[in-house]
A and B are shown apart, each in its own frame.
Chain A
């Protein structure tokens, strides 16, 4: 309310537009849906790839202590590098198209997922694994029945961390490749100093990020009812 009031009367629209103006822009900008759905597509494809890759590699790595120790310096090197800075490299590799953006999204989401999967796989008590072995469970059964269910809460928190990052990845990549998507809208709006449009695009990003986050939270509640129960106790 205060924002609306201030922006309507005191602050010019090119600095901070009022919320009503932003919503108006969001619904009336004719190309919004086109760019919105494109970014959504990039985000979803990249995210799914990252989930598959992160989980598989996380489970694989956690089976070998050597591999874990060996990869950790390489992973921390990646961790310290801004992932969005890979966008220009991917553009050289894959050209100005969907692939470059999808790969940036993938990189953004991949590392938190990998890290959380690895942490989750370590979460099983060694006693439980010893018990399973004494019951003649094979490696696969232990993985399926004990370790993965135990890792699930960690994996879901990784998904929640990754969800908003994917939107950032997509948009930054679109800034640089710059021909479609919400990132393009921001760029276009900047060139013509259409600040309300910039904010409308940010609103669209928020919507994608929040929807993704909400969907994950919903699935988590369905799949892992015990986590909530134990938390509330």
Chain B
């Protein structure tokens, strides 16, 4: 037991050591070869760029868009996935349309959303929503369909209503897949928000990246990239914590 624990500690420490080493070598190389800041800034220069009120404002704006798009995408994706799983006709009818939509590069639609929804937060939220929506729809649909048909007929013979079957069995069965959809969608939400911010208005980290590129303020550019990664990882981490809470029965078995 003791041995297992110490081994565990080493393997969890190792990535941290690697990251520190990586940053250290990066700093060293930049200093020794005296790279211009416009090319690659040292980690210390990037860290200094974080102390910037601009960054905080754009960070909050992007976080708002990411969260709003993510939540709306989850809710609609799960609802529509559940509906489609219950009607074969509906599924057959919508599947060509859905697969067409899925094939369209959705990040490219942002300029159209400006025309549809104006310049506020709405087009950005819609762009985020679209990227989140499809993985959740597909995973919910698949998750609902993997329920064992024998179990369904057993429940029906026990006079369970459709709603009871949905709440007690199908949703439970679909949850692992819904959670994997949530994990896929977490970084996509950031992608959707940031890409739309390239076009829409003057808010958000996507705009800040553009702006710092124009100003050749490369430390700020790197700082905003790191901030984006932070939002994505935080969302992902939150989903994982939630999954451990809710799906502990499933994770223990698999």
Question: Which residues in A have some Cβ–Cβ distance to B below 8 Å?
Answer: 14-15, 66, 69-74, 76-86, 88-89, 91-93, 164, 167-168, 171-172, 175-176, 183, 186-187, 189-190, 193, 195, 198, 201-202, 205-206, 209-210
What is the CA–CA distance of A23 and B179 in the complex, to the nearest angstrom?
Answer: 39
B229 on the A face (CB < 8 A): yes
User: Are B213 and A80 closer than 8 Å at their CB atoms?
Assistant: no
User: Are A172 and B198 closer than 8 Å at their CB atoms?
Assistant: yes
User: Are B232 and A15 closer than 8 Å at their CB atoms?
Assistant: no
Contact sample, A vs B, 27 pairs, CB 8 Å cutoff: A70-B21, A70-B22, A74-B18, A74-B19, A80-B229, A81-B225, A82-B194, A84-B195, A85-B195, A85-B206, A85-B224, A86-B225, A89-B218, A91-B213, A92-B38, A92-B213, A92-B218, A93-B39, A168-B107, A171-B107, A175-B198, A176-B210, A190-B199, A195-B112, A202-B105, A205-B105, A210-B103
Which residues of A are found within 8 Å of B221, using beta-carbon distances? Answer: 88-89, 92
B window 19-54: CB within 8 A of A: 19, 21-22, 38-39
User: Are B15 and A88 closer than 8 Å at their CB atoms?
Assistant: no
Which residues of B are found within 8 Å of A183, using beta-carbon distances? Answer: 108
- Measured CB to CB, the nearest residue on chain A to B235 is A80
B132 on the A face (CB < 8 A): no
User: Are A73 and B233 closer than 8 Å at their CB atoms?
Assistant: no
Minimal beta-carbon separation of B61 from chain A (angstroms): 15
User: Are A85 and B116 closer than 8 Å at their CB atoms?
Assistant: no
Q: Majority SS of interface residues in chain A?
A: helix
Known: A73-B18, A164-B105, A172-B108. 20 other contacts (CB 8 A): A15-B116, A69-B18, A70-B15, A80-B228, A82-B190, A82-B228, A85-B205, A86-B225, A89-B213, A92-B213, A92-B221, A93-B39, A168-B105, A171-B105, A171-B107, A172-B107, A205-B104, A205-B105, A206-B103, A209-B103
Partner of B191, one of A15, A84, A89: A84
Interface pairs A-B: 5 shortest CB-CB: A88-B213, A80-B232, A70-B18, A190-B111, A81-B229
User: Are B22 and A77 closer than 8 Å at their CB atoms?
Assistant: no
Question: Which residues in B have some Cβ–Cβ distance to A below 8 Å?
Answer: 11, 14-16, 18-19, 21-22, 38-39, 103-105, 107-109, 111-112, 114-116, 187, 190-191, 194-195, 198-199, 205-206, 209-210, 212-214, 216, 218, 221-222, 224-226, 228-230, 232-233, 236
User: Are A80 and B187 closer than 8 Å at their CB atoms?
Assistant: yes
Which residues of A are found within 8 Å of B104, using beta-carbon distances? Answer: 202, 205-206
Partner of B233, one of A80, A85, A88, A205: A80
Which residues of B are found within 8 Å of A76, using beta-carbon distances? Answer: 233
User: Are B213 and A77 closer than 8 Å at their CB atoms?
Assistant: no
Knowing A84-B107, A168-B108, A193-B115, say if A69 contacts B15 (CB, 8 Å). yes
Minimal beta-carbon separation of B36 from chain A (angstroms): 11
- Measured CB to CB, the nearest residue on chain B to A83 is B191
What is the CA–CA distance of A219 and B160 in the complex, to the nearest angstrom?
Answer: 50
